[in-house]
Amino acid sequence: MDLTHKRILVTGGNGFLGRHVVQRLRTQGCTQVFAPRSSEYDLRDGAAVAALMRDTRPEVVIHLAALVGGIGANRERPAEFFYSNIMMGVQTIEQARLAGVEKFVIIGTVCAYPKFTPVPFREDDLWNGYPEETNAPYGLVKRLLLVQAQAYRQQYGFNAIYLLPTNLYGPGDNFDPRSSHVIPALIKKCVDAIEEGRDEIVVWGDGSPTREFLYVEDAAEGIVLATERYDKPDPVNLGSGAEISIRELVGMIARLTGFTGRIVWDTTKPNGQPRRCLDVSRAKREFGFQAHMDFEEGLRRTIEWYIAERRKGAQP
């Protein structure tokens, strides 16, 4: 699909990932990209979603809008994470079908995988168990959107594809400690400690879990490539294929921020899923996606961006 002359709606287009997807589309010459704010259209409201489709008349929808957060936010607000994400997803897909949208791109989550999935996670493993408990409501909602996409393809011929990105990071991430993910949370802890003269930071868990991270610009590239080139019902992982332990990650962030104090592990707090690392061969095979950013360089850029924003008073 040549996206250059398509009318493209990016829900969540003003969020962390959304801004990079919108920029990628515009860099490639797409001139009709719409990224309305949630204050303009509440995607949990079917009538608002129908109005959005009438107002923007999209030919392609990339659905990024979601209520997201780290382990703490998921534990405190599981009902909100379930309700908001299921309502946004189900209604946006249905209204897009009714509006005759040519292609619909659904962004899932690595949290949808079962808690004890063998590493590397293969797309065929998605239904082989229950997600990790701390984010199960969010992960299960995202699985259900895959079911909806496949059902709509079967009954209506609706061209919906489904992508499973791993944990994202990069400049522009959310650093609010009430809802941030692990990398921005750790960066903020280290920078706060340095500025306040504290000689220790406290980190949740015991450091043993592993995670895989994908630089946000790489993720945006993968999403746009899939939008252009992929048209099958099967889900596709988007990741870097590299695994790092939380203990190693903390050490790397401490070194890059200049924090030299003590790391205290709060083992009363949950570790989350034991391991996460994706098999990324399908994305490379189906639409030629491969991550480029070196992880340490990506962390350095993220830290530099955050420190610059703090100096401007623009970040918590």
Domains of the chain: 8-169+213-241+276-292 (3.40.50.720)
Q: What are residue 104's DSSP bridge partners?
A: 61, 160
- Helix, strand, coil abundance in the chain, percent, nearest 5: 45, 15, 40
Q: What is the pLDDT, as a whole number, of residue 71?
A: 78
pTM (two decimals): 0.95
Asked if residue 279 lies in contact with residue 120, where contact means CB atoms within 8 angstroms, the answer is yes
Contact 106, 160 (CB under 8 A): yes
Task: Check pLDDT > 90 for residue 238.
Answer: yes
Closest CA to 16 of 313, 305, 273: 305
Reading phi first (left if > 0) and then psi (alpha if -120 to 50, else beta), residue 148 is in alpha
- Read off the tokens for 315: 């970040």
Q: List the Cα angle 263/170/137 in 5-degree steps.
A: 80
| Beta-bridge mates of residue 238 | 165
Catalytic residues: 138
- pLDDT digits 0-9 by tens, 110-150: 999 999 999 999 999 999 999 999 899 999 999 999 999 99
Q: 10-65: per-residue pLDDT in tens?
A: 999 999 999 999 999 999 999 999 999 999 999 999 999 999 999 999 999 999 99
Among 202, 208, 186, 199, which Cα is nearest to 265's? 202
Q: What is 30-62 written as a DSSP string?
A: ---EE---TTT--TTSHHHHHHHHHHH--SEEE
Half-sphere exposure for 282 (CA within 13 Å, toward CB): 20
End-to-end distance of the chain based on CA atoms, in angstroms? Answer: 41
What's residue 144's pLDDT? 98
**Angstrom distance (rounded) from CA 121 to CA 125:** 7
Beta bridge partners of 169: 215
Q: What is the 3-state secondary structure (H, E, C) of 179-226?
A: CCCHHHHHHHHHHHHHHHCCCEEEEECCCCCEECEEEHHHHHHHHHHH
Radius of gyration of the chain (CA): 19
In this prediction, residue 11 carries a pLDDT of 98
